Amino acid sequence: MDRTALAEFLRRRREELRPEDVGLPRGQRRRAAGLRREEVASLASMSTDYYTRLEQRRGPQPSEQLLAALARSLRLTEHERDYLFQVAGRNVPPPGAGGDHVAPALLRVLDRLADTPALIVSELGETLVQNRMAQALFGDRSRFTGLARSEYYRWFTDPAERRFYPEDDHDRQSRAQVANLRAAYGSLGPQSRAGELVEALLRESAEFAELWRRHEVGTRFADHKTLLHHELGEIEVDCQVLFTEDRTQALLVLTAAPNAEDALKLQLLGVLGNERFGGPTHDRGKEVPRHSEA
């Protein structure tokens, strides 16, 4: 662990970011050149004291989980993330291994979406980040572990996953889930995490096995759909998608037609989200527990 390099790298990246770059209000009495230490710590769900010790070259070696949270909070590119892992004395995530690193370009867009549900997902259907509106609509999707991190896996193994869609739409959603997974399988190969998901689902779900034999391929996100919320009932939304250049991650944005009842429901959803999560900004570090690592 190179404490000096780690401290200087964290400080420089923190000072280069503005509050609006990460979806935070600037305020009127700000004197810091960039983000404050407590703001970075909050974004990464770690204690301010521990982050401060890292910048002061006296903190303990951070875990890989914590480094991933810092990389996301500081909007690091993959090369910058790898450097962060190296100077912290941790193994760099291998290429194609997936993980929780989120494309900074998608995060910058998500930071500006406070009034409508939005989330970033991996090509394996894993929710990497979701704003407060998306949490109010779908719940905290970061709580899942193992194969269950993938929406594709949960759709065919956990009946609770289907409660967000009307029953008459389940068949269409099942085909879309399989088509998305087959696209990832074709890109990543049978020895990848996509292959692991396919093998597990072929064993555990007869429905999946039947659909898998159809060889339908596609990335089906952008469409008109009806979602079910346990308090607000049916909400009709349009789903728009923005992919990274390599199409390994996608930002999904859900909107309703203006002046419609569904738009009003989304406004109410925003109120529920603020009451539940304590503020207007979205949660970018919910999936990482708060660390002290003393």
Cβ-in-10-Å burial (0-12, 13-18, 19+) of 127 comes to buried
User: pLDDT tens, 22-34?
Assistant: 777 776 677 766 8
Average pLDDT of the segment spanning 224-247? 90
User: pLDDT tens, 145-162?
Assistant: 899 999 999 999 999 999
Q: Which domains does the chain have, with CATH numbers?
A: 3-87 (1.10.260.40), 104-277 (3.30.450.180)
Question: Global pTM?
Answer: 0.72
The percent of residues in the chain predicted with pLDDT above 90, rounded, is 51
* Alpha carbon distance 182, 124 (integer Å): 10
Tell whether the model's pLDDT for residue 103 goes beyond 90: no
Cβ-in-10-Å burial (0-12, 13-18, 19+) of 152 comes to buried
More confident residue, 108 or 206: 206
Tell whether the model's pLDDT for residue 93 goes beyond 90: no
pLDDT at position 281, please? 41
The chain-wide mean pLDDT, for the chain, equals 85
Q: Which two tokens stand for residue 183?
A: 């696209």
Average pLDDT of the segment spanning 16-23? 81
Q: Which two tokens stand for residue 137?
A: 């609509």
Quickly count helices (H) and strands (E) in the chain: 12, 5
Distances (CA, A) of 16 to 36, 229, 237, 284: 11, 40, 37, 19
C-alpha dihedral sign at 184, 113, 65, 151: negative
The percent of residues in the chain predicted with pLDDT above 70, rounded, is 88
pLDDT at position 120, please? 94
pLDDT at position 285, please? 38
* Alpha carbon distance 178, 209 (integer Å): 9
pLDDT grade, residue 286 (50/70/90)? very low
Q: Which two tokens stand for residue 51?
A: 């982050």
* Alpha carbon distance 289, 271 (integer Å): 25
Tell whether the model's pLDDT for residue 126 goes beyond 50: yes
pLDDT grade, residue 283 (50/70/90)? very low
Distances (CA, A) of 260 to 118, 134, 200, 223, 265: 19, 19, 42, 18, 9
On whether the CB atoms of residues 98 and 121 are closer than 8 A, the answer is no
Q: Beta 233-243 vs 249-255: how paired, if at all?
A: antiparallel
Average pLDDT of the segment spanning 53-61? 90
* 6-15, 215-224, 228-237, 256-265: least confident range: 215-224
Query: Which 8-state DSSP code applies to residue 124?
Result: T
pLDDT at position 25, please? 74
pLDDT at position 172, please? 92
* Alpha carbon distance 72, 87 (integer Å): 17
User: pLDDT tens, 164-219?
Assistant: 999 999 999 999 999 999 999 998 889 889 999 999 999 999 999 999 999 988 87
Residue 50: how many CA atoms within 13 Å on its side-chain side?
18
pLDDT at position 221, please? 67
pLDDT at position 274, please? 57
Measured at the CA of 108, the angle between CA 107 and CA 114, to 5 degrees, comes to 85
* Alpha carbon distance 24, 75 (integer Å): 14
